[in-house]
Structure 1
Amino acid sequence: MKLSTISLLLGASMTSQLAFAQDIDIKVQNLSQGLYFTPLVIAAHNDSGYLFELGQSASGELQAMAEGGDISGLVNIANSIGANVIENPAAGLLAPAAHTSASVMTTDGNMYLSVSAMILPSNDGFVGLDRWPIPAAAGTYHIYLNAYDAGTEANNELVVDGSGAPGVLGIPAAPGMDAGSGGSGVTSTEQNTMVHVHRGNLGDDDLTSGHSDLDNTVHRWLNPVAKLTVTVK
């Protein structure tokens, strides 16, 4: 048998194995000092599905999640493509250093994993994983997740008393009760309007005025901001 034929057979075998249903456990841990994650959406889906795409414009559903923590639109998208969805496993916010776990039996063909949740306090920041191939081999796998910017809102770093709905400029909440007020705004424009790696909060040391309402000793971060542990059984 020719080497090329062997390679084709091995490739077909691996593809077939990846397409099988899999029993997996998932753990998400918040690695940050002062950030909170809004309800998470975790989806095992096929090779054509996604929750977000780096370098592309955010969908309306991604914008609603990134600016206000509303995952319903992303859940609807995932359900519409037959994904296996885990919705809000922490039953609310995931605090710094906290973790949440869930299990799922994937459907045949759902061999990619995506994760998303808004980061608070931020204007339109979110923690995410885009189309990670679920390994066929049993074992425990660790993936570190970055923070991304939806590119839909200027990062003015001002906490507002609002719904966080798209179009409401400002951070909808600072759950740790450690933010200030009275800031003038870090910026009023967003130069990169595509989904991109978040540059992080700047903050300042003046919680009654200054440019930002965020505390530069609490709310700044460097990537990664979360750890995902996937156990394939």
Structure 2
Amino acid sequence: MKKLLLGMAMATAFSANAATIDVNITNATDGIYFTPLLVAAHSNNVHLFRTGESASADVEAMAEGGDISGLEALAVGAGASVSANPAGGILNPGDSTSTTLYAEHGDVLSIAAMLLPSNDAFIGVDSWTIPKKRGKYIIRANGYDAGTEANDELAGSVPTPPFIDFGSAGTGVDTEVSNDVVHIHPGNLGDTDANGGISDFDSTKHRWLNPVAIITVTVR
């Protein structure tokens, strides 16, 4: 009986120190697409990325090619509650997706996905502290530069999905990496010359201002 009561007490303590959170992510850009998102609730001693530090190989794979498998494995290995690809693919401009996670009190929320088109830009939320109090909370998420590739904005250097119209024969915006750590992205420059200019991105569609996403977190 004592063992049974102890087990019941432990279960009660666990439920009292855990929370269910609903995460709604809206692509707030006009012409930028999000690759499959990684959303994770985890302990505060784990980081998927850190501003001011060099990007890991897993962050590089996500930011340059939209591959979240390495970051997903990292989060799962750290015991995180993970939602990979909640949108079931690309999240279009203006669209939203939602997912539900389970978190211990003191856990933090991290989110990442590549921004298309870009060389190595990504939407990022780095270890946002999940509130203990129930309610709705808003995160305005920025676009980050992984610092792993020059932002030349040339079609030959970036993923070219069929739903994005690229120009050609651009000469390139940047020829080298000017800041090799994770930092706030300056945004695409682009131009309006589809057959030349400095960029193969369309400046009327592919520029952005931060924030790139509006995230609503509901703690239940």
Which TM-score applies when normalising by structure 2?
A: 0.91
Query: Which letter does structure 1 place at the counterpart of 2:52?
Result: G
Match of 1:82 in 2: 79
Aligned match of 1:151 in 132, 135, 147? 147
Question: Contact 1:183/1:212 (CA < 8 Å) preserved in 2?
Answer: yes
Distance in 2, matches of 1:231 and 1:180, equals 41
Distance in 1, matches of 2:162 and 2:81, equals 30
Where do 1:6-45 residues align within 5 Å?
A: 20-45=17-42
Aligned match of 2:179 in 192, 195, 209? 192
Distance in 1, matches of 2:75 and 2:100, equals 17
Q: Secondary structure in 2 aligned to 1:61?
A: helix
Q: Secondary structure in 2 aligned to 1:105?
A: strand
Deviation at 1:114, TM superposition (A): 0.4
Query: Which letter does structure 1 place at the counterpart of 2:45?
Result: S
Deviation at 1:60, TM superposition (A): 0.2
- Asked if residue 54 in structure 1 is aligned to residue 41 in structure 2, the reply is no
**How many residues end up aligned between the 2 structures?**
207
Distance in 1, matches of 2:105 and 2:131, equals 13
Deviation at 1:36, TM superposition (A): 0.1
Distance 1:230 1:144, change over 3 A: same
Question: Contact 1:120/1:175 (CA < 8 Å) preserved in 2?
Answer: no
Deviation at 1:191, TM superposition (A): 1.0
Query: Which letter does structure 1 place at the counterpart of 2:173?
Result: V
Question: Contact 2:58/2:71 (CA < 8 Å) preserved in 1?
Answer: yes
- Identify unmatched segments of 5+ residues in structure 2: 1-12
Where do 1:128-167 residues align within 5 Å?
A: 128-160=124-156
Q: Secondary structure in 2 aligned to 1:191?
A: coil
Query: Which letter does structure 2 place at the counterpart of 1:220?
Result: R
Match of 2:159 in 1: 172
Distance 1:198 1:22, change over 3 A: same
Question: Contact 1:38/1:120 (CA < 8 Å) preserved in 2?
Answer: yes
- Identify unmatched segments of 5+ residues in structure 1: 1-15, 161-169
Distance 1:110 1:60, change over 3 A: farther
Match of 2:5 in 1: none
- Asked if residue 63 in structure 1 is aligned to residue 54 in structure 2, the reply is no
Distance in 2, matches of 1:109 and 1:138, equals 12
Identical aligned residues as a percent: 52
Instruction: Provide the alpha-carbon RMSD of the alignment.
Output: 1.6
Question: Contact 1:203/1:220 (CA < 8 Å) preserved in 2?
Answer: yes
Distance in 2, matches of 1:91 and 1:199, equals 28
Query: Which letter does structure 2 place at the counterpart of 1:153?
Result: E
* Residues 165-219 of structure 1: CA deviation (Å, up to 9, x unaligned): xxxxx11125543321111111110110000000000001101111100011110
Q: Secondary structure in 1 aligned to 2:167?
A: coil
Distance in 2, matches of 1:39 and 1:211, equals 29
